Structure 1
Amino acid sequence: MSHLGMKIIESTPDKVVMTMPVDARTHQPIGLLHGGASVALAESAASLASLLNLQSEEKTAVGLEINANHIRAVREGLVTATATPIHRGASTMVWDVRITNERDQLVCISRCTVAIINRKK
């Protein structure tokens, strides 16, 4: 997360908000926000949200599936991801993640499914 400049703004079991700069680290070759960087931000927010919902220190959360629709291009500035729960189960959690630009316009919408697994000892 630090390699891409991601920062946690808010983190509760019901909502995680993270930001990421749009710069050389997150650009694709023609200078736009890379879709993979958006997906990395979305999965980071969903994974953190899942960890905050775990009821046992013997469990951990790992990404299982993610999809993303890239709605609007961004060349510079800051994008913000907000993850909110769709489903919080014992073995999986599903998160809605909306990424917006500095004008609060939708950039990317993602759904991330996270598996809840036993933590290795």
Structure 2
Amino acid sequence: MPGIRHDLADQWLPARMGIEITEWDPKRVVATMPVAGNLQPYGLLHGGANATLAETAGSIAAALNAGEDRVALGLELSCTHHRAARSGVVTAVATPLHVGRTTSTFEIVITDDEDRRTCSARLTCVVRDRAPGA
């Protein structure tokens, strides 16, 4: 994606959390994340890890839909945590609910290894022109 700061790749939060993008298309972005290493003190997947996974998948989908010389920036994220994940890998699937000229909204469904929904999220991004020279 144009405009990505590759010089900061070692500081990207998704990489530190083990998030991998397995599918990317404007209509569907799929990302996975290991539960191990992303726990809260009770041994469950941290809600903030779910939020990071959801925002990563949704932001990539927004960027893919933004168009050439445009950027998508997170505006609002909402997560509902339905069930705990204790091990394995969780998978996020981001699909567009609305793709407009200035905003885009995506539904992100996170499931566990048994395909049970663990989290439902909604991300709205604002879409702006890329600053000249950025």
Identify the TM-score tier after normalising by the shorter chain.
over 0.9
List gaps (5 residues or longer) in structure 1.
none
Residues 1:39 and 2:51 aligned together: yes
Residues 1:19 and 2:22 aligned together: no
Residue identity opposite 2:104 in structure 1: M
Moved segments of 4+, more than 6 Å: none
How much has 1:85 moved relative to structure 2?
A: 0.4
List gaps (5 residues or longer) in structure 2.
1-13
Q: Which residue of 2 aligns with 1:115?
A: 126
In structure 2, distance between residues paired with 1:63 and 1:103:
30
Instruction: Please give the TM-score of this superposition, normalised by the length of structure 2.
Output: 0.86
Q: Which residue of 1 aligns with 2:19?
A: 6
Residue identity opposite 1:87 in structure 2: H
Q: What count of residue pairs does the alignment treat as equivalent?
A: 119
Matching of residues 52-67 of structure 1 within 5 Å: 52-57=64-69, 59-67=70-78
In structure 1, distance between residues paired with 2:114 and 2:25:
24
In structure 2, distance between residues paired with 1:84 and 1:19:
15
Which structure features the higher share of helix residues? 2
Q: Which residue of 1 aligns with 2:6?
A: none
Q: Which residue of 2 aligns with 1:69?
A: 80
Aligned-residue Cα RMSD (Å) equals: 0.8
Residue identity opposite 1:98 in structure 2: V
Helix, strand or coil for the counterpart of 1:40? helix
Matching of residues 87-98 of structure 1 within 5 Å: 87-98=98-109
How much has 1:56 moved relative to structure 2?
A: 2.2
How much has 1:118 moved relative to structure 2?
A: 2.4
How much has 1:29 moved relative to structure 2?
A: 1.1
Deviations 1:50-101 (A, max 9, x none): 11112222x1011000101000101110000000000000100000000000
Residue identity opposite 1:32 in structure 2: L
Q: Which residue of 1 aligns with 2:61?
A: 49
